[in-house]
Structure 1
Amino acid sequence: MTVKSRWFGGAVLCGCLMAGQALADCTPPAVSGDLDFSVCKEWPAYPGQAISAKAGFKPAADDGEGGTYGFYDLDLSVAQDGQPGPVATYRQTSAYESDGVALSQMSLDTARYTLTTDLRAFGVRARFTNASRLNPMEEVQLSLYVREGATLRPVLQKLLVYQFSGEWDDDCTGQRSEMTRTVEVAKTSSHGYADLIVKTQQTGTTSAGKGETCKDSSTVYKPALTTLRYDGKSYVLPQGFKGL
């Protein structure tokens, strides 16, 4: 279940959670501003638990009233059926920045990120976009969190899993590039946590000509595999793998 700001879509999207028992209490946290984001999702790895996330926007002091430049505070929590309040929480001030390229969507990722025999992480995906037609840009970041008692702890921060950018003349001539990354849990481990295998796929496209003579030429590059290893505190990202 997701609540999106009016800035992004102007709607509240509601969904029924039908896997296992319905979590009637899995409702997105309340938001107070048009630029805020709020999501909630059942955590299949742990029956009866649900994850909630909220990104609260704080405008920069020098941006003026109604501006979109500022920062987002991130609040995460895990709820358990039958418990009156959250059983685990996490808060990060200024987790995301909005400056030309703005946060446009937030979602929860409950794929099988099994890091130890009895510990599974969940993900928060944050999508950023700009408003330019001639120089479009979009990226998606993935962060992973584990529960340790009453605390949620980040173990992977802002892995860039999607990126699109381009530049064109509003007619034909231009170029664009697209990159996608997928994450797989490896059989090897470092400091007690499973290694993560990241597969990167890149495509580049060039357009040239005018009107009906406009043609695209695309190059699909060979996929590249990179292993991320846990250093005892978090997974280390190589240069170029971290989002904004």
Structure 2
Amino acid sequence: MAEMNSLSSSGQDGVSNAFEAALWAVDTMFEFANVGISGVNFHSNNWNSFNQWDAYGAFHFNVPESQYLASKSIAPPSGTQFSQQYSLREVQSLYYGMLLFAESTGHQSKLLPVDLQTNTNVKAWATIDPTTNKVNVLVLNKDQSASGVVSLTIPGYSSGVVTRMIAPTLSSKTGITLGGQTFDGSQDGKAVGVEYGETITGEGGKFTVSSGAASAFLLTLSK
């Protein structure tokens, strides 16, 4: 799936560049995988045909003025200070969703069937890693008001680690964390903060994990 994003060559402020884009991205990639798509290409740049400076992709970069002028004839915003070389300016919310999907599908993991019973805006996906035999269960709570305990049954597994992707609200552009880390203020594209997960044990293959509204968690299970 080539040149994919939420809106062609543009975006909606407070949506495409906010936390809900992270939830949308990981869910969309799983939907594509579920119908046999082998890969996706998220389109991201710093200018577009609508004369907007930023398209809402995964990253924003500073570029030398010569590179900008050679690429487009549209005028940059007044007072723009061009860099002398390429540098990272901002990591967008979309990237958190891309990372969460990657963590859920390592080593060309295979999708597992999921029986989901809920009356809220919740999605669930599961994979098994052919290298480690670990099972990953991803739960996406896209409901802005519903929170509570999620009960999961995965026979044959007894312990795991919960990694959470959270933000203050669905429309948050900053304050997003994945496994306790954020890209807010990152100068080199590396996550900032201490990575952590929550250890969990199950009984008879049954696990319970709390879920906050408008959030996601990945449960990685080992036998």
TM-score by length of 2: 0.29
Which has a greater percent of strand? 1
